[in-house]
Structure 1
Amino acid sequence: MTEVSDRAAGAGMSLGEALGRLRGAQKRAGGVSLYSRFVNRPTGRLLAAGSYVAGLTPNQVTLISAGFSFGGVAVLAFAEPSWGTGLVVWLALAVGFAFDSADGQLARLRGGGSPAGEWLDHVVDCAKITALHTAVLLTLYRHSGHFGAGSDAWLALPLGFLFAAIVTFFGGLLTEQLKPKPAPGSAPAPPSTLRAVALLPVDHGVFCLVFLLLGGGELFLWGYALLGAAAVLYLPLFLAKWFRELSRPAAAAAGRTGM
């Protein structure tokens, strides 16, 4: 289907009809946290259906996501830290994260995405992670008194968090690219509630919630530090899991085939 004809189909469809089509084009729920499963993906589904009816493309939705996310980053970096600032930052980041879920769902609703669209999505995600922790570093430096940070040693915290977040993002992305694809028609593994709970500390949506504590000074600092510690502790677990998955015979054979 061409972009023009797809726009026309979306324009003639109601929101309810678009949501009905989306139910049959969902990714499996395994491997995501409870927040992503029950909050972000359903919100993204509504945004994807609305975007389809409005005739938007997945790339346009990705750019809307980037606009909200980087708007929140700019407020965090340059505004005075307060409860109101924290609310604005959280809201912008949460809406950006929901649109980040919507672009992929919209692509599936339109019949599939493109390599360029997937590239744009991942580049925006990587830039968002980098900019967000850099903004935390900047606000800790500029307003150290507000956060009770009596030592410059606290400035190492966002750097360590950023390292863990970037390596986790890149490692997970590369694993998905290198793993052999499941056979067509194969039943996906049922989602694990235990795994979904265990992944909450490293879910981006949960991370965004910590900015609601921005006005609390030290309260924010300790909340950010706890999530940073979780990111650092989970990193070797993720890396070991992904390495084992790629070391299995089927994955190794797929790797040799792709060489």
Structure 2
Amino acid sequence: MTTAEAEKGHVRRDREAPARLTFREALDRLAGAQKSARGVSLYSRHVNRPVGRLLAAGSYRAGLTPNQVTVISALFSFGATAGIVLAEPARWTGPVVWLALATGFAFDSADGQLARLRGGGSPAGEWLDHVVDCAKTTALHMAVLLALSLRPDAFGVRERAWLLLPLGFLFVAVVTFFGGLLTEQLKRQAAAGRPGPAAPPSLVRAVALLPVDHGVFCLVFLLFGAGPVFLWGYALLGAVAALYLPLFLVKWFRELSRG
């Protein structure tokens, strides 16, 4: 190999392996590469995304891939789900379950942010992220159903009709998840090639979406050790989610009809 060829190979390798960003540089770059805040609740905007940004920067420095971060998110989420079924309701179980769920949710935000930091995600990565999201939502409500079934006295379940609550909540959660995801994909296809200015985020909408934000839903598990109090808190959030579902469906249908 000639000296010139060696120099060309060295330049080529330098271009293929740019210098790694520091943690601070990664944070700064992530701050300028956030998704739109439109249609996002205050919790996700001001809590989950900033925490996810820290985790994404740390994951970048650790050399993790977005798919590996998605797996970490799943481990925290499914670990919390297992705790709901296996652990006896006590003062410590609620905070532990909540912390694991909240951490999993933050890593769920981090995987997409890490993908953008690394230059963009992949269809396979997006697929994995959505499948894990659907699986953890389904498993979480199934875990509540099992907890109520296995320990009815601990939660004040006197009538078996209460067991319909997590089933109904699961139905609403899955339809909402699938409807929102499909609407996003169809709107993205319709807007391909003719991008327009993004609408500014609404503070009123961000507040209104708080009751159906996954991070807010996770907070109810702080009451897991309180038995009946947890049951009523879970029922309240389920009722709100059921009320929001038809509003979401009408909104999404109208948006796609206009497109």
Q: TM-score, normalised by structure 2?
A: 0.91
Match of 1:221 in 2: 231
Counterpart residue type for residue 93 of structure 1: L
User: Does the 8 Å CA contact 1:8/1:55 hold for their aligned counterparts?
Assistant: no
Q: In the alignment, which residue of structure 2 is the partner of 1:137?
A: 145
Give the Cα–Cα distance (whole angstroms) in 2 for the partners of residues 225 and 8 of structure 1: 52
Which ranges in structure 1 are unaligned for 5 or more consecutive residues?
A: 252-259
CA–CA separation in structure 2 for the residues paired with 1:120 and 1:126: 10
Alignment CA distance shift 1:172-1:77 (3 Å)? same
Number of the residue aligned with 1:123: 131
2:6 corresponds to which residue?
Answer: none
Query: 1:137/1:53 Cα in 2 relative to 1: closer, same or farther (>3 Å)?
Result: same
Structure 2 counterparts to residues 77-156 of structure 1, below 5 A: 77-156=85-164
Q: How many residues align?
A: 245
SS of the aligned residue for 2:145 comes to helix
Contact kept? 1:7, 1:56, Cα under 8 Å = no
- How far 1:6 sits from its partner (Å)? 11
**Separation in 1 of the partners of 2:193 and 2:155?**
52
- Give CA-to-partner distance per residue, 1:60-109, whole Å, 9 cap, x none: 00000000000000011111111211111100000000000000011111
Match of 1:212 in 2: 222
* Cα drift, residue 183 of structure 1: 6.2
Matches within 5 A, 1:124-203: 124-179=132-187, 180-181=190-191, 186-203=196-213
Query: Displacement of 1:184 after TM fit?
Result: 6.8
One-letter identity of the residue aligned with 1:32: V
What CA deviation, in whole Å up to 9, does each residue of 1:182-233 have, x standing for no partner? 7677432111110001000100000000000011111100000000001111
Alpha-carbon deviations, 1:43-75, whole Å to 9, x = none?
001111111111111000000000000000001
Q: Secondary structure at the match of 2:108?
A: helix
- Structure 2 distance, partners of 1:77, 1:5, is 52
The separation in 2 between residues aligned to 1:15 and 1:136, in whole angstroms, is 39
Q: For 1:162 and 1:176, locate their aligned partners in 2 and report how far apart those are by CA, in whole Å.
A: 21
CA distance in structure 1 between the aligned counterparts of 2:129 and 2:15, rounded to whole angstroms: 21
3-state DSSP of counterpart to 1:83: coil
Q: What is the letter of the counterpart of residue 222 of structure 2?
A: L
The answer to whether residue 33 in structure 2 is matched with residue 29 in structure 1 is no
Query: Tell me, what secondary structure is at the counterpart of 2:134?
Result: helix
Counterpart residue type for residue 124 of structure 1: V
Residues 46-55 or 118-127, more deviating: 46-55
Q: Distance in 2 between matches of 1:132 and 1:25?
A: 31
Matched with 2:4 is: none
Is the Cα–Cα contact under 8 Å of residues 130 and 162 in structure 1 kept in the other structure?
yes
Taking the aligned partners of 1:43 and 1:141, their CA distance within structure 2 comes to 35
Structure 1 residues 193, 116: CA separation in 2 closer, same or farther (over 3 Å shift)? same
Structure 1 CA distance for aligned equivalents of residues 162 and 194 of structure 2: 50
Change in CA separation of 1:208 and 1:189 when aligned onto 2, cut-off 3 Å: same
Structure 1 or 2, whichever has the larger Rg, is 2
1:238 partnered with 2:245: no
Quote the Cα distance in structure 1 between the aligned partners of 2:72 and 2:209. Answer: 26
Larger displacement relative to structure 2 (18-27 or 122-131): 18-27
- 1:255 alignment partner in structure 2: none
Q: What secondary structure sits across from 2:89 in the alignment? A: coil
Deviation at 1:24, TM superposition (A): 1.9
Bigger mean CA offset, 77-86 vs 199-208: 77-86
Mapped partners of 1:53, 1:206: distance in 2: 29
Q: Deviations over 1:6-37 (max 9, x none)?
A: 99657x32110001111221101110111000
Aligned to 2:51: 43
Inter-partner Cα distance in structure 2 for 1:236 and 1:126: 20
